[in-house]
Amino acid sequence: MTLYSRIVGTGSALPERLVTNADLVVELAARGIESSDDWIFGRTGIRQRHLAARDETSSMLGERAARAALAAAGLAASDVDLIIVATSTPDYVFPSTACLIQKGLGAAGGAAFDVQAVCSGFVYGLATADAMIRTGMARRALVIGAEVFSRILDWSDRGTCVLFGDGAGAVVLAADERPGILASKLHADGRHEEILRTAGNVQGGAITGHPFLTMDGQAVFKLAVSVLDSVARETLEQAGLRIGDLDWLIPHQANVRIMSATGRKLGIAPERVIVTVDQHANTSAASIPLALDTAVRDGRIKPGQLILMEGVGGGFTWGAVLARM
């Protein structure tokens, strides 16, 4: 019997604190930084974001999203034998955020580890879990994207601090005789590492390097649109399908301009692109599973539909996963 993996449940979690653009403008003004709702929305498509409380961590948000996904799948935490967490903002240097979530869920015994591919992390994790299920190394997996990016933002840099939010999204993958994940492609090019990074570290109890996110926005935009177009076509070709076969495109929710440009380049109508960046801002590895869960729960995504999830992020990394729901 040929084994495949299928998405059988989705879930998400957001911090309680909701910060609109108007709220953020006031907070930035108190720091001597000028901005406006029109400036933020016009350049990004963002209207609001959720920001974590001081004691709220990636593992806390990830555990909540995982529990929601398990409930949607009708499974218990003990049914899971693999947990993969995509995050750039782990609770600790180690142990992994996945191990902390495993502890919180009470699901000890199976493999648990983090992947670090920044905003591409969720598709990297999904492709990894799919491969492990197909080879029989796991039967049911939680794949989680969880971030508290507000911790690594320079709140004096209006070009980056307005872009990001915190949150988590999760899916349950289960072994099945029916194909669910149809194809995946992952790429990276470390030559572009300087255009989007947080180049700090801890050494001898002190921070070395730059502890905040930095970005060359124009370079990221140009490269992102190019690689999102190519990896979408490559992944569909691997499955023997065409762009016209897609029901939904779920891109990384970085910026509405990147998503719109990608959709136009692929020839996908705007109404077939899932957009939640206006609600959540850029939540890095959490953005795709958050968008997926939103669209599943509001009824847009239905069983049997074909979806393409694609991400691009610092590293520079990019990838896509094609799935039949």
User: Do 58 and 194 share a domain, yes or no?
Assistant: no
Specify whether the CB–CB gap between 169 and 288 falls below 8 A: yes
Half-sphere exposure of 264 (CA within 13 A, CB side): 7
Of 146, 178, 210, the last residue of a domain is 178
Residue 157: φ, ψ to 5°: -110, 95
Two tokens, residue 107 = 């699901």
Q: How far apart are CA 266 and CA 248, in angstroms?
A: 12
Which amino acid is residue 97, in one-letter code? T
Specify whether the CB–CB gap between 39 and 170 falls below 8 A: no
Q: Provide the whole-model pTM.
A: 0.98
User: Do 190 and 253 share a domain, yes or no?
Assistant: yes
Which residue has 């015994």 as its token pair? Answer: 109
pLDDT at res. 1: 77
User: Residue 249: which CATH number?
Assistant: 3.40.47.10
Q: Does residue 4 or residue 1 have the better pLDDT?
A: 4
Q: How far apart are CA 33 and CA 29, in angstroms?
A: 5
User: Do 168 and 35 share a domain, yes or no?
Assistant: yes
Mean pLDDT across 236-262: 97
User: Do 17 and 31 share a domain, yes or no?
Assistant: yes
Mean pLDDT across 273-291: 98
Of 142, 161, 178, the last residue of a domain is 178
pLDDT at res. 234: 98
Residues with active-site annotation: 119, 252, 282
Q: How far apart are CA 51 and CA 19, in angstroms?
A: 7
Two tokens, residue 197 = 């990074």
User: Do 174 and 188 share a domain, yes or no?
Assistant: no
Contacts of 34 (CB under 8 A, 6+ apart): 28, 158
Which residue has 């495993």 as its token pair? Answer: 102
Residue 270 has pLDDT above 90, yes or no: yes
pLDDT at res. 79: 98
Compute the mean pLDDT over every residue in the chain, rounded to the nearest whole number: 97
Q: How far apart are CA 73 and CA 294, in angstroms?
A: 16
pLDDT at res. 115: 98
User: Do 198 and 308 share a domain, yes or no?
Assistant: yes
Give the tens place of pLDDT for each residue, 125-156: 999 999 999 999 999 999 999 999 999 999 99
Strand (E) or helix (H) holding 251: strand 248-251
User: Do 201 and 153 share a domain, yes or no?
Assistant: no
User: Do 192 and 45 share a domain, yes or no?
Assistant: no
User: Do 10 and 81 share a domain, yes or no?
Assistant: yes
Quote the percentage of the chain above a pLDDT of 90.
Answer: 99
What domain range includes position 320? Answer: 182-324
Q: How far apart are CA 125 and CA 289, in angstroms?
A: 11
Strand (E) or helix (H) holding 321: strand 317-324
The candidate with the shortest Cα–Cα distance to 288, out of 112, 167, 175, 180, is 167
Helix (H, G, I), strand (E, B) or coil at 111: strand
Specify whether the CB–CB gap between 311 and 250 falls below 8 A: no
User: Do 115 and 244 share a domain, yes or no?
Assistant: no
User: Do 192 and 153 share a domain, yes or no?
Assistant: no
Specify whether the CB–CB gap between 37 and 83 falls below 8 A: no
Of 157, 178, 199, the last residue of a domain is 178
Angle at 192 between CA 186 and CA 198, to 5 degrees: 95
Count of domains for the chain: 2
User: Do 186 and 174 share a domain, yes or no?
Assistant: no
pLDDT at res. 182: 98
